[in-house]
Amino acid sequence: MNLEKPSSFVAGLILAAGRSERMGTPKSNLAWGTTTVLGQVIRSLGEGGLKCIYVVINPFRKPEIPEGLTDLKVVLIENPAAETSEMLKSIQIGLSSLPEEVQSVMVALGDQPTIRSEVIRKILQTVDDTGEGLIFPSYRHRRGHPWTVNREFWSEICSLSENETARTFIQAHASTIHYVNFDLDPPEDMDTPEMYQHLKHTSGM
């Protein structure tokens, strides 16, 4: 794999602007091993081969970006509508804020610290090998994150109304999705204190 090509061509886009209502505290700042939940997601994307990572955040609940990420370019993008909008708005703001040199993004969730760097590497390898515009991991036949989408689709995503979701776009292109298969459990969302403790326990944290 030519690491220089995908790491400059594909940027990470982490969605971390949620309100954390069920958790009761910003999920991104919760401890995870030697870092935070968001820090672990960033670390995994970096270890998987990405060099530039954009993080869409809630300006009213700003995450702490941990130290020790000096080999990565981490850029914060504020979603001013984070308190009243859903995930699609963060994707749209993230895509519209990216520089021209970024031609594809890998969309990851900021509350999935169990994401694996080997998944990132294999998806980047697939981007490099196939040039497919829409790539999803399939975890034992279950579609999950992170997924990549080329710039050719961004205007369509950004034109979706507030009554639609990212799933609207995904379903419209279901027949053209290229899947990368993994014999792994998908990374789990971390929405409640109980799930946070469960994931920490099962991950040895």
Which domains are seen in the chain, by residue range? 4-202 (3.90.550.10)
Write down the pLDDT at residue 182: 95
Write down the pLDDT at residue 22: 67
Establish whether the linkage from the previous residue to 146 is cis, with ω within 30° of 0. yes
Are the C-beta atoms of residues 83 and 58 closer than 8 Å to each other? yes
What would the mean pLDDT of 175-188 be, rounded to a whole number?
A: 92
Integer Cα distance of 151 and 55 in angstroms: 18
Are the C-beta atoms of residues 106 and 123 closer than 8 Å to each other? yes
Question: Position 14: which residue type?
Answer: I
Write down the pLDDT at residue 6: 41
pLDDT tens digits for 95-118?
Answer: 999 999 999 999 999 999 999 999
Beta bridge partners of 137: 180
Q: Read off the tokens for 32.
A: 């995870």
Whether this prediction's pTM lies above 0.85 is answered by yes
Write down the pLDDT at residue 68: 67
Integer Cα distance of 162 and 189 in angstroms: 23
Residue where the block lists tokens 């050719």: 152
pLDDT tens digits for 125-172?
Answer: 999 999 899 999 999 989 999 999 999 999 999 999 989 999 999 999
Number of residues assigned to the chain: 205
Are the C-beta atoms of residues 15 and 87 closer than 8 Å to each other? yes
pLDDT tens digits for 28-79?
Answer: 888 998 899 999 999 999 999 999 999 999 988 888 777 766 678 899 999 9
